[in-house]
C-alpha cells in the first residue's frame, strides 16, 4: 500500500502526516485553514487506521460547530447563540494536547488508601499483617509525605528506596516493603477507578544487596542443641526440637494444635500442617503431613503428656493476634547462639533437613513433599503424592 492510497495524508522522510482542510462554514473557529500534524508512523496500514479514527472525530466535532454557528439549525436542539456573535475560536485538534489544562489530582491520600486496604483486605488477617502494612506505609510517608496517591512521582519513589538503603536494609527487605506499598496503591486505585500510578513500577532494587546466605545447622551443633533441649525439657525447647528433626517453618510449627499431632497412626506418627485462621501457610505445597522421628517425636510426646490447657501445642506464641512467629524467632535464635557460639538460626534446621535427606539419597520430589517446597513440573500436580509410610521410611533413615 503506497501513501497515495491513504486518504488525507502525505509523507515526509517516510513518516505519514495527516492533512485536512477546514470547512468554510466553520473557518472562524480555527486560526489556520488546514489541520496538519504527524501520525508518527511509517506504516501505511497503521496510518490508514489512525486517519479513519481522526476523520470520524473531526466530522463529529465539525458537525457540532455547524450547529452552534447556524441559529436555525441550533434552535431545534435548544442552542441560541447571541445575535451577530461569531463562532468562538476553538483550539485546533493538533494543538489541544499542548494547551490542555493540568487536571487536579484526584483519589485518596496515602493514609486513607492504607485504611481502605486494611479495612477490606485485612478483615481476617492477623495483627502481624496489619503491623507490616502500617509500618511500610508510615516509613514511606516519613520520606515522601502524605500526598494524594496520584501525585507521587518517580523521584519520590526513588528517594524512598535510597532512604531505605541508607538505613542498611537488605535488598530483600526493601523489596518486601515496596511490594506492600504497591499492593496498597494498586488496590486504592482500583477502588477509586483510577489508572495505575506508573511511578511505582520498574523500580530498580538490588535484591542481593546485604543478603547473606543462610547456612544449615552443622551436624555437631544439631546434636548439641537437641541434647540441651531434652535436658531443659520446656515449651521453648519442645518447639526447637520439633523443628530440628522435621524442617518445619517456625510459623508452621508454632501455630499447630494439639489435635494436629497424630502419634498412633498405623503408617507412623506424624504432624499435620494445615492452614488455621491464626496462622496461614506460605504456599499450597506447605499443607502436608510430616513424619515424626528422633527428638521431634520426643517433643510431640511431651506436648501431649503435658498438663497445659487449651488447644495450642505452643500457647506462649499464640494469642488473640494470631501466631507470633517473630517473638518466637528472636527468643529461640538468641538461645541457640548461646549454645553453639555461632550464627545458626532456627531457619537453618530447614536447610539441614534438605542436606540430611540428600545424604541418604532421598528422591528430590519426596524431599520437597516432606519440607513443603513447591516442585516444578506439570506432572507433579497429578496423583495424590507419596503415601505417609513412604515418607516415614525415608525420615527414619536420617534419624
Domains of the chain, first to last: 3-99 (no CATH), 110-200 (1.10.150), 219-398 (1.10.443.10)
Rounded Cα distance between 335 and 331, Å, is 6
User: pLDDT per position in the chain (399 positions), as tens?
Assistant: 444 578 888 888 888 888 888 888 777 777 788 888 888 888 888 888 888 888 888 888 888 877 766 655 544 444 444 444 444 444 444 444 444 555 565 789 999 999 999 999 888 777 778 889 999 999 999 999 999 999 999 999 999 999 999 998 888 899 999 999 999 999 999 998 888 888 888 889 887 776 667 788 999 999 999 999 999 999 999 999 999 999 999 999 999 999 999 999 999 999 999 999 888 888 888 999 999 999 999 999 999 998 778 899 999 999 877 888 888 898 999 999 999 888 889 999 999 999 999 999 999 999 999 999 888 766 666 777 899 999 999 999 988
- Burial state string for 86-107 with b = 16 or more CB within 10 A and e = fewer than 16: ebeebebbeeeeeeeeeeeeeb
pLDDT at 104: 60
Rounded CA gap, 315 and 308, in Å? 8
Residues 6+ apart with CB under 8 A from 48: 1, 5, 6
Provide the 3-class DSSP secondary structure of residue 266: coil
| Inter-residue contact 214 to 348 (CB < 8 Å) | yes
Phi, psi of 7 (to 5 degrees): -65, 150
What CA–CA distance (Å, rounded) separates 353 from 391? Answer: 13
Q: Across-strand partners of 318?
A: 323
Residue 70 has what pLDDT?
61
How many helices, marked H, and strands, marked E, lie in the chain? 15, 8
Residue 23 gets the label, from left (phi > 0), alpha (psi -120 to 50) or beta, of beta
Contact 249, 345 (CB under 8 A): no
Res 177: pLDDT: 94
Q: According to the model, what pLDDT value does residue 119 have?
A: 92
pLDDT, residue 47, reads: 86
Cell of 140: 514511606
The secondary structure of residue 87, as a DSSP letter, is P
Amino acid at each position: 500500500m503506497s501513501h497515495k492510497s491513504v486518504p488525507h495524508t502525505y509523507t515526509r522522510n517516510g513518516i505519514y502526516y495527516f492533512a485536512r482542510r477546514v470547512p468554510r462554514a466553520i473557518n472562524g473557529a480555527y486560526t489556520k485553514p488546514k489541520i496538519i500534524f504527524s501520525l508518527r508512523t511509517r506504516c501505511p496500514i497503521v496510518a490508514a487506521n489512525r486517519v479513519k479514527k481522526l476523520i470520524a472525530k473531526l466530522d463529529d466535532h465539525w458537525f457540532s460547530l455547524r450547529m452552534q454557528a447556524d441559529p436555525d439549525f441550533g434552535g431545534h436542539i435548544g442552542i441560541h447563540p447571541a445575535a451577530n456573535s461569531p463562532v468562538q475560536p476553538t483550539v485546533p485538534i493538533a494543538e489541544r494536547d499542548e494547551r490542555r489544562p493540568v487536571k487536579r489530582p484526584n483519589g485518596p491520600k496515602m493514609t486513607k488508601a492504607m485504611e481502605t486496604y486494611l479495612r477490606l483486605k485485612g478483615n481476617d488477617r492477623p495483627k502481624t499483617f496489619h503491623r507490616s502494612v502500617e509500618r511500610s506505609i508510615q516509613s514511606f510517608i516519613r520520606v515522601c509525605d502524605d500526598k494524594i496517591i496520584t501525585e507521587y512521582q518517580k523521584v519520590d519513589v526513588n528517594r524512598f528506596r535510597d532512604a531505605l538503603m541508607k538505613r542498611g536494609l537488605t535488598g530483600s527487605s526493601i523489596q518486601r516493603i515496596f511490594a506492600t506499598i504497591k499492593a496498597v496503591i494498586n488496590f486504592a486505585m482500583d477502588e477509586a477507578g483510577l489508572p495505575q500510578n506508573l511511578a511505582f513500577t520498574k523500580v530498580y532494587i538490588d535484591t542481593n544487596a546485604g543478603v547473606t546466605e543462610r547456612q544449615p545447622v552443622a551436624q555437631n551443633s544439631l546434636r548439641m542443641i537437641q541434647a540441651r533441649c531434652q535436658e531443659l525439657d520446656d515449651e521453648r525447647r519442645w518447639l526447637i526440637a520439633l523443628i530440628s528433626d522435621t524442617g518445619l517453618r517456625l510459623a508452621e510449627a508454632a501455630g499447630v494444635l494439639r489435635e494436629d499431632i497424630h502419634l498412633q497412626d498405623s503408617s507412623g506418627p506424624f504432624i499435620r500442617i494445615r492452614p488455621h485462621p491464626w496462622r496461614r501457610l506460605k504456599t499450597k505445597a506447605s499443607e502436608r503431613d510430616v513424619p515424626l522421628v528422633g527428638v521431634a517425636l520426643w517433643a510431640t510426646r511431651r506436648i501431649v503428656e503435658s498438663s497445659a490447657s487449651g488447644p495450642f501445642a505452643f500457647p506462649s506464641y499464640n494469642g488473640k493476634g494470631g501466631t507470633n512467629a517473630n517473638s518466637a524467632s528472636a527468643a529461640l535464635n538468641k538461645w541457640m547462639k548461646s549454645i553453639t557460639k555461632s550464627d545458626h538460626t532456627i531457619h537453618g534446621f530447614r536447610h539441614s533437613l534438605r542436606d540430611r535427606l540428600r545424604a541418604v539419597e532421598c528422591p528430590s520430589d519426596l524431599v520437597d513433599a516432606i519440607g513443603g517446597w513447591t516442585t516444578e513440573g506439570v506432572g507433579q500436580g497429578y496423583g495424590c503424592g507419596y503415601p505417609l509410610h513412604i515418607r516415614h521410611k525415608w525420615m527414619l533413615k536420617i534419624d
